[in-house]
Structure 1
């Protein structure tokens, strides 16, 4: 199963001729490639899979996705 995680773009820069970003995932920042979404801008919410932003989303969609992921995680912990 593949899972894409939402995060907020906090920095955009070039690295090795690629458009890259620092994306905040609830306090954890990761370097992510923006090449698939060149229209991305600072403050946007992005859906990230395997080190790449695969789409942009609004803040409400991002928050709803994060809540669902947290619910699944809690359920998994209860079952295990």
Structure 2
């Protein structure tokens, strides 16, 4: 099962504006935000992440609701967070 998981943008990398560092359930990773070039995220924004790419911006209320749902479904969410921990976009 492939999921999109919400993450909070912590910073946009100054030397690589197509990358942002996000926080997902305590994990911090660089993700590609190039798909959101028309409305780039800023620190504090929430994005929906899949396979290291931000697919869309979402509001904090929606992000928290999705996180609660994902935590309830268990293993699929755990697998997605584990995959995020192992991903490295440089």
Superposition TM-score, scaled by structure 2 size: 0.74
5+ residue gaps, structure 1: 75-80
RMSD: 1.4
State the distance in 2 between where 1:65 and 1:55 align: 14
> Deviation digits for residues 43-75 of structure 1, max 9, x if unmatched?
10000001100001000000000000000007x
Name the structure with the higher strand share: 1
Instruction: Name which structure has the greater RCO, CA cutoff 8 Å, separation 6+.
Output: 2
Q: After TM superposition, where is structure 1 displaced by more than 6 Å over at least 4 residues in a row?
A: none
Q: How many pairs were matched up?
A: 72
The correspondence of residues 22-33 of structure 1 with structure 2, limited to 5 A, is 22-33=21-32
Is the helix fraction higher in 1 or 2?
A: 2
Say which SS state the counterpart of residue 55 (structure 1) adopts. Answer: strand
- Matching of residues 27-66 of structure 1 within 5 Å: 27-38=26-37, 39=39, 40-66=41-67
Structure 2, unpaired ranges of 5+? 76-90
- Quote the residue 1:77 is aligned against: none
